[in-house]
Amino acid sequence: MSETLITLERVCKVYQVGEENFTALNDVSLEVGKGAFMSFVGPSGSGKTTLLNLIGGLDRPTTGNVLFQGANLENMSRDQLATYRRENIGFIFQTYNLLPVYSVYENILFPLILNGLKESHVRKRVEEMVAKVGLMDQINKKPAQLSGGQSQRVAIARALVKDPLLILADEPTANLDSENSRQILELMWELNREYKAAVIFSTHDEKVTRYIRREVRLEDGRVSWDKRRNGTEAEP
């Protein structure tokens, strides 16, 4: 059994919508091991994004606890949560969210700059990541000059460049065609193996499920199915 990275203990998240209460997550308990490659699957409104929010320290549970390597996120201040995200979490979005005025190189550099590293010290690291995602010939291009698949590759490199323990990927293939989706998933799979960063997808995409080693299905805010596949790494 691999070392536990994330622990969710009886997590509930209730939103107030007008005068009604909406339960987005209801008594969810999970453990995610280091180097996991898994997905949260479920229809819209099932709680996938809420779960990513809580794990990413972007929101707090109404009840229950979210622990990162044993540290309870509930006890962290807003600034401490920002530090937690900055140091440990990489994000990949459906719409890439690259910074339009910066080049491929600079977009990948961006998280390292946020971590206070000097560009001259990390230039090699950034170039290495650009090469890993196969975009060396596009390194000085701006996002507007890239295709969707290339943009998502940049987003992957940006998420990985700071060597995070966890990557949260929200519908990373939703805007891509089949071929590009396949390439992106294979790339993420390879990088997961190489860099050992745990990857959690939130997805509707059936193609994703072919690559992941664990699938957590959510329905109405509850875990309805937690399926682990045989892989080289056992899940908790």
Partner 1 sequence: MIRFWFRGLMRDKSRFLFPFTVVAVGVALVVALVGFMEGVFMGMIDMTSNLDSGHLRLVNKAFYDEEHLRPLDRALANQRETHDWLVKHSSMEVDWAPRIRWGAILDVPDEQGETRSQTPVVGIGLDLKSPDSKEIERLRLKSSLIKGNLPKGFNEMLMGIQLAEVLDVSVGQSVTLLGQSFDGGMVADNYQVAGLVRFGVSARDKKMVLIDLADAQNTFYMEDMVTDWLGYFPPSTDFDRYEEVKHSMSASLPDWTPPKDWAKDDFPIVLSIRDQQNIGAIMDKFVVIKGFVVGIFTFLMVLVLWNAGILSGIHRYGEMGLRLAFGEPHWKLIMTLALEGLWIGILGSVAGSLLGGGFAWYLQEVGLNMGDNFAQSGLMINDVVRARVTVGGFVQGIVPGIFASVAGTLVASLAIFQRSEANLFRELEAG
Residue from 45, 65, 84, 204 in contact with partner 1 (CB under 8 A): 84
Nearest to 135 by CA among 155, 164, 163: 155
Q: Report if residue 111 touches partner 1, rule: CB under 8 A.
A: yes
Answer yes or no: are the C-beta atoms of 149 and 180 closer than 8 Å. Answer: yes
Nearest-approach distance from CB 208 to partner 1, in angstroms: 16
Q: Report if residue 74 touches partner 1, rule: CB under 8 A.
A: no
Nearest to 133 by CA among 147, 120, 151, 115: 151
Q: Judged by CB, which is closer to partner 1: 89, or 176?
A: 89
- DSSP characters for 147-159? -HHHHHHHHHHHH
Answer yes or no: are the C-beta atoms of 197 and 31 closer than 8 Å. Answer: no
Residue from 2, 65, 86, 211 in contact with partner 1 (CB under 8 A): 86
Nearest to 200 by CA among 152, 153, 159: 159
Q: Report if residue 85 touches partner 1, rule: CB under 8 A.
A: yes
Nearest-approach distance from CB 234 to partner 1, in angstroms: 29
Nearest-approach distance from CB 101 to partner 1, in angstroms: 5
Q: For tokens 């993420």, name the residue.
A: 188
Q: Judged by CB, which is closer to partner 1: 143, or 149?
A: 143
Residue type, 108: I
Instruction: Give me the residues that bind partner 1 (CB under 8 A), please.
Output: 49, 52-53, 56-59, 78-79, 81-87, 89, 91, 93-95, 97, 99, 101-102, 106, 109-111, 113-114, 116, 119, 170-171
